[in-house]
Structure 1
Amino acid sequence: MHYTTGFIEELGVRLGTEATVRLLALHGGSAIRVPPQATLDHPLCRVLGEIPFDRLVDTWPDHVIEIPSADEIIDGYRRIRSIARLARAGISAVEIARMLAIKQRQVINLAHEALTLKLLDAAHLDAIKGDHPT
């Protein structure tokens, strides 16, 4: 599973804020294997608590999940903020992608996140997309 800024939000919704913060604090920057079944003696159950652990297993049974580090989370939000700033300045997705050394599709996806975060309005999002299909 690849990290996106939305992944942290999804963890928070599914596990709750406290369990998500504990997971990020103790396992950030590493991969965890979610067991196929929840058991009370599993180390993640002790970290998260029984109910959040059950939700984790119900959502991602028998999966390996990459838990982002604090630096990755902050860098992700900085990139979104940079894309929003450049888009508001009228720079196209193609040029933003070139400037940030990422793909145009990534720019558009992150611009959608900027829209959700109210860092960018719909008109600027439409402007940077140009002829790129969504």
Structure 2
Amino acid sequence: MTIRKIFRPTALLALLLPLAAIAADAPPVPAAAATPATAPVPVAAPPTLLGAAGYPAHSCTKPTLPAAPTGIGGEGEVMMYNAQVRAFNQQIQGYTKCIGAYMDTANADIERIQARVSAAVAEANAR
């Protein structure tokens, strides 16, 4: 089973473009306040509302693919391998469902964030 859902965070960029026009109206930074070329420029992490931990990781456990039989164990080894493959196939279905549920939740969170950003952009543009 293949998961075919795709995050669409690029839509957020379209929502933020009107804010760039507002920022363009800001006065330029005076030359004296500019950082000298010889000074190291600190790289700061972009601000976030998610907190220090960021967005939570999924809690799904990916099953381990069983090792292929070596051929020296005979038919018993092959039968055991086949049983392990059947168990793996059941586990991977559960894993796929878990990842799908995580993606559904993340996509719903993205939609809520985009709605709030859209409202903020509309408010900022209504000047």
Q: Which structure features the higher share of strand residues? A: 1
Larger Rg: 2
Under a length normalisation based on structure 1, what TM-score does the superposition of the two structures give? 0.24
Tell which has more relative contact order, 1 or 2 (C-alpha 8 A, sep 6+).
2
